[in-house]
Chain A
Amino acid sequence: MASNETPRQWLQRTASRGARWSRLSVLAGTLSTLVLLVQAWCIATIAQRMVIDSTDFSALVTPLLLLPPAFIARGLLVRARTICGARGGIEIRQSVRRELLERIAVLGPLWARRQHSATLSNRIWDQVDALQGFYADYRPQMLLCGIIPIIILIAVAPLSWAAALILIATGPLIPINMAMVGIGAKKRQEDQFLEMGRMSRHFLDTLQGLSTLKLFGVSKRQADEVHTTSESFRRRTMRVLRLAFLSSAVLEFFASVSIALLALYLGFVYLGQFHFGMYDHGINLFMGLFILILAPEFYQPLRELGVHYHAKAQAEAAAEDLMPILNRRVFERDTDQPAWQPKGSLALSLEGLTARYAGRSSAALDDISIEIRAQEMLAVIGPSGAGKSTLLNVLMGFMHPEAGSLNVLESDQTPRALIDIRSDDWQLQIAWVGQTAVIVSGTLAENLRLANAEASDQDLLDALEQAALQQWLTGLPDGLDTRLGEGGRAVSGGQARRIALARAFLRDARLVLLDEPTASLDQASERLVMEALARLCKGRTVVLLTHRMELLALADRVLMLDQGRVQALETLDNLRAPGGPLARSVSAHPSETRDV
């Protein structure tokens, strides 16, 4: 994967994923031109026999009978072309989308959060769909632009070299024509595409800001603004289009002029005015009409290419958005580690651990060396930016330390570096309750089984009981099958937190990671969550991020972090002893910054 790949190169490289269909589509297009030769033969033959040979009707029967099957064959080939093109586009998009989705897992949640989920889903969904026109229509058509004119030239040249010369001279094969039509149009078409995009973005922007406009009392006035802006966009776009259409008019001009030239040349040959451009056999009406009927098809592929041009511009814009995701280089773990299934409880040993966010100069975790003992509850405190979340991200395997080591110790086993454990195996040992619990739209059972797909209904009920949710459950109309999330039953913050807790119970993991599990809950929920936490943490190794006194009191030891460094690692009592870093001062000052 070259890092300096252009969008066009990427589009080209990706095309190989649907190459089979694209080839079939081009083949159908090529064959359809060959069938056109038959059609032209039929029509020209009929005219020749009627006008020149003055035959009777029976001589027309063969070409007349041949015409419908020729048209049907052409129709079948056009159909095949459409279907193959669509199929190729669909396959490429499915493959690209799968790669993107799998890539997300490699890049990790930290990266995904930086991208904003709406932007990211727009890329994975809409931008990938924007590739369809390019692969289904534009690319096969581009290939046909190189094939069809040559077939027609080969058919015309043996009849009259002068006619072939007219086609060549005015034709799309001439690089100057291509340059005039292609490059000129390209820049302008892209400009137009950009203008159109800006125009609809401006409208979207206005709609999205409607409530702000209302609040500032200018929403009524804005209607005229919408019109004025749209009109000025129109004027600018039309300036671009006047030039853009000129280049397609050039193509149109050459096509028309060459048909006229051909007709005049052939007519004057018939009338005996011209004597050049033919071979010994001369030119009869059949040959002339045959050439005339084929002439428009000589230019047709390029004209059609112009119709699909916006698909190309769209695809290039999409590729520009997708490439950074696909080509971004990240640390990837060795995937062929031996399986790891711990039996006893886990302890962790961090030595000189340093971690840094991309593009930051200061380390988020700076030379951390601590032991996290088996089955202890370690609380981590510190101001925001101290490195608490970073520590959690490192423990979850979402972030890779740039220096130092993190070893996992199992009671009687040799220590093992986290880096040598497959991330699937490691994550299987983690239960996590964060500040915001994810509720996916689906049934309650589906939401719980996220943590353990094999759990029986009884397991789910037990977990709900452990998480103090059984009372809520009895109030649900369909029990475990009640739908939650979008379009289903609304779930309060406290309930969501307890569903996350129930998941943690179902997981039965060795390591429990908690991030402010009681923040911004109402009083009743908070008490229930605290009780459930006490049950969950028993017999497991727990790392808890908090600044709540009640939670600190549950912890065996407290790790104080500041600016990525360890300030203290002690029991709470020692920290609060006189002279200790958390020693009580005389009066509480209420105007501090804390969450409710």
Chain B
Amino acid sequence: MFRQLLPYVRLMTPWTWLLGMGIALQLMALASSIGLMALSGWFLSASALAGLSIATAHTFNYLLPSAGVRFFALSRTGARYGERLVTHDATFRLLSRLRKHVYESLEPLSPAQLQRHGESELMTRLTADVDALDGLYLRVLAPSIVALLGIVICGVVIGVFAPAIGLFAALALLLSGLLGPWLAWRAGQAHSDAWHQDNTRLRARLLERLNGLSELMIYNRWHGEVDSLIEGQQTRDAHEYQLARQWGSSQLLSQTLLGLTLTGVLGMAGWAVTRHELDATLVALMGLAIMGAFEAIALLPQAWQNLGRIQRAATRLDDVRQRVSETDFPAESEQCLPEGHRLSIDQLSVHLEASIAVLYSVSLEVEEGEHLLILGPSGSGKTTLFNSLIRFVSPSEGTMTLGGAPLNQLSEATLRAQFAVAQQETHLFAASYRDNLTMGQPIDDETIMAMLDTLALRDWLEQQPDGLSGFPDERGSSLSGGQLRRFGIARALLRKAPIVLLDEPTEGLDEATEQQVWHAIRNHCQGRTLIVITHRLIQLEDFDRIAMLDEGHLVEYDTPRRLLADPDSRLTVLCQRIDPELAGLMRPA
């Protein structure tokens, strides 16, 4: 039942002393709290009894108990403060380690494996799961251990005077601390799971509907959508409400059991007093000790509720980690080293799902230093071809070699060193623009500035108050879509790799900038192999060869001159279909 939590408990071993200290301090705070109330109760009873006659009032030793009361008052404050500091520090240390651990288990997975269909929010969920797991010690283990020990302390304090009553108190407290929360935890799981399912479904639905807002509004369906989303939310919230009811009922059960425990203890103590087996001044002590211990027990239900969340988080993390890496790389010592950089793709087929192929037997040869343009409508398999080269997806058939060495025989470091890639989406890290551009390579600012200049990003940079040292905004990015894309190209071109892959580099740029960007790309890629994919007819003659993809098939592959000379080629037809004069005129003079 708790097996999935074991690896995370094991992560705690390096800080056993710190965690133990946290628990010890928590226990000390609890013991002080019980001690303060119980001792005060006894002190009042004993002094009231002594005060009945003047003689006893004078002989009553009030120094020790009053010193004890003051001590407990201070130790409760001190221990509580220390306990909070230590447990939080320990939790953050664990969190650092947990993050590293999760990162290391995710890193070998290919992006295609991580971002499977319908999992666009996987990363967000993982982050939330890691945050939930950090509560394992702080919110579950520590309070549970402390409550257990608190019950023992309470039993011992009472048991010193009356063993039977002490035993009864401890057992009854244990029952009241465990039964209610445990029942709630068991019964709550079904609702909790249903809530999460509904929540995920509704959120995905909302995102989908927002993407289609224009159409839904045109078709007068938005109000219907709002109603059905709210209806869905009501179903989800009904589970939440049930959880709240159960939580309330478990509190009721705990309180009832506490009431019975207290009644039992006071009744037994009263009985013992009337039979002169117990000092009457201890009655209040026992009652207050139990009320004090309940302070710790009151935390248990929350701990158990958290336990459910943490278990679910651990299960989900395990589920992701179970995805064994589909792409393995040979070790440095076992790899084949490429000779030259001639790329050869032979009969490459890729299936993303079992039945649907995205590439069918594509064969391409790219000589070292050659510039290749891959054209095709969206969905024709261009990006999948790229992803196969960088081994983000695994081909189902066919081979790819680089300089004679099969791509899957290169170590990951060697493979990565061959390619400089700008994907369609540019991810900006929460680091300085400089770090975002160099990506850990030693590149001086002049080189960076020159690169930004050639990609028409100089104006943008000059608007940044901190220049290259500035950070992208925490919310969203301070680069427009077109700027972000050029930033990605700059990042790729700054990387000195022999093969440059650019995915739709000029999408969303105005024509003047597009020309400038092309110019820069060509300049920077002289002598390097360049492969560009696009669905726009651009600068055809600048490329040595053009490959046309359509629905996963390679339909044409030749030099642009020869393709354009053939009146029946797809490229010629495409170029003619879009009236060039029309396009020429449509450009502002």
> Which single member of B65, B100, B535, B551 contacts A595 (CB below 8 Å)?
B535
Chain B positions within 8 Å of A326 at CB level: none
Cβ < 8 Å to B, chain A residues 37-77: 43, 46-47, 50-52, 54, 56-57, 60, 64, 67-72, 74-76
- Determine the residue in chain A with the shortest Cβ distance to B257: A71
By a CB distance below 8 angstroms, the chain A residues around B245 are: 79, 83
Query: Which A residues lie within 8 Å of B356 (CB)?
Result: 490
Q: Cβ of A583 and Cβ of B581 under 8 Å apart?
A: yes
Q: What separation, in Å, do the CA atoms of A97 and B262 have in the docked complex?
A: 46
Interface string of A536-572 (1 = CB under 8 A from B): 0000000000011110100000001011000000000
B270 closest partner in A (C-beta): A60
Tell me if B50 is interfacial: C-beta within 8 Å of chain A. Answer: yes
Contacts of B587 in A (CB 8 A): 383
Across the interface, A288 reaches (CB within 8 A) one of B48, B96, B376, namely B48
CB of B14, distance to nearest CB on chain A (Å): 13
B416 contacts A595, CB within 8 Å? no
Contact of A71 (CB < 8 Å), options: B215, B256, B413, B427? B256
B222: nearest residue on chain A (CB-CB)?
A105
A434 at the interface (CB under 8 A from B): yes
**Which residues from chain B contact A271 at a C-beta distance below 8 Å?**
47, 50-51, 57, 60, 62
Contact A125 B47 (CB under 8 A): no
| A223 touching B107 in the complex, CB below 8 Å, given contacts A109-B213, A450-B215, A593-B514 | yes
CB pairs A–B below 8 angstroms (13 shown): A51-B280, A112-B213, A121-B207, A210-B107, A252-B80, A285-B48, A438-B215, A440-B209, A441-B205, A547-B586, A590-B540, A592-B584, A593-B538
Q: Secondary structure at chain B's binding surface: helix, strand, loop or mixed?
A: helix
Q: Contacting chain B: which of A231-239, A334-342, A343-351?
A: A231-239
3 tightest CB-CB pairs across the interface, nearest first? A71-B259, A75-B255, A438-B212
> Which chain A positions have C-beta within 8 A of B256?
68, 71-72, 75
Q: Which of A198-206, A360-368, A471-479 contacts B (4 or more CB under 8 A)?
A: A198-206
Partner of B249, one of A68, A79, A125: A79
CB distance from B134 to the nearest CB of A (A): 10
- Contact A51–B283 (Cβ < 8 Å): yes
B244 shortest CB reach to chain A, Å: 3
- CB atoms of A384 and B40 under 8 A apart: no
Docked CA distance A137–B268 (Å): 38
Q: How far is the CB of B95 from chain A (nearest CB, A)?
A: 6
Q: Which of A64, A86, A427, A589 touches B240 (beta carbons < 8 Å)?
A: A86
Listed stretches B121-129, B359-367, B395-403; interface member? B121-129
Q: How far is the CB of B415 from chain A (nearest CB, A)?
A: 9
- Which residues of chain B are near A238, meaning CB under 8 Å? 85, 88-89, 92
Instruction: Convert B555-584 into 0s and 1s, putting 1 for each residue whose CB lies closer than 8 angstroms to a CB of A.
Output: 000000000100000100011111111111
A584: chain B residues within 8 A (beta carbon): 581
* Nearest chain B residue, comparing its CB with the CB of A586: B581
User: Are the CB atoms of A71 and B392 closer together than 8 Å?
Assistant: no
B406 CB, nearest partner CB in chain A, Å: 19
The smallest C-beta distance from A168 to any residue of chain B, in angstroms, reads: 18
A450-B583 in contact (CB<8A):
no
Total A residues in contact with B, Cβ cutoff 8 Å:
173
Q: Smallest CB–CB gap between A528 and chain B, Å?
A: 14
**Which of A209, A284, A563 neighbours the largest number of chain B CB atoms within 10 Å of its CB?**
A209
The verdict on A139 contacting chain B, using a C-beta distance below 8 Å, is no
Answer whether A125 and B206 are a contact pair too, CB < 8 Å, given A227-B96, A591-B541. Answer: yes
Minimum C-beta distance from B558 to chain A (A): 14
Q: Does B203 contact A (CB under 8 A)?
A: yes
- B144-152, B228-236, B457-465: which lies at the interface: B228-236
Whether a CB of chain A sits under 8 angstroms from the CB of B237 is: yes
Using a CB-CB cutoff of 8 Å, which residues 479-521 of chain A contact chain B?
485-487, 490, 492-493, 500, 503, 507, 520-521
B259, A67: Cβ atoms closer than 8 Å: yes
**Which of B37, B73, B253, B416 has the most chain A CB atoms closer than 10 A to its own CB?**
B73
If A210-B111, A596-B376 touch, whether A215 touches B390 (CB-CB below 8 Å) is yes
Task: Fill in one digit per residue for A202-225: 1 if any B CB lies within 8 Å of its CB, else 0.
Answer: 111111111111111111111110
Residue B248 interfacial (CB < 8 Å): yes
Partner of A428, one of B220, B249, B269, B514: B220
- Whole-angstrom CA separation of A166 from B270 in the bound complex: 32
A499 to B434, CA, bound (A): 46
Residues of A within 8 A of B225 (CB): 101
A24 at the interface (CB under 8 A from B): no
Q: Would A86 and B583 count as touching, CB distance under 8 A?
A: no
The answer to whether A67 and B36 touch (CB under 8 A), given A124-B206, A381-B586, A487-B118, is no
Q: Are B41 and A292 in contact, with the CB atoms below 8 A? A: yes
Which of chain A's residues has its CB closest to B262's CB? A67
B439 within 8 A of A: yes
- The verdict on B449 contacting chain A, using a C-beta distance below 8 Å, is no
How close is A490's CB to chain B, nearest CB, in angstroms?
6
Q: Which residues of B contact A404 (CB under 8 A)?
A: none
Answer whether residue B550 sits at the interface, using C-beta atoms and an 8 A cutoff.
yes
Most buried by B among A82, A241, A272, A584: A82
Question: Contact: A270 with B564, CB < 8 Å?
Answer: no
Which chain A residue has the least Cβ–Cβ distance from B76? A256
Given contacts A57-B270, A71-B258, A595-B535, contact A590 B575 (CB under 8 A): yes
Known: A80-B248, A450-B219. A215 touches B45 (CB 8 A): no
Neighbouring B residues of A285 by C-beta, 8 Å: 44-45, 48-49
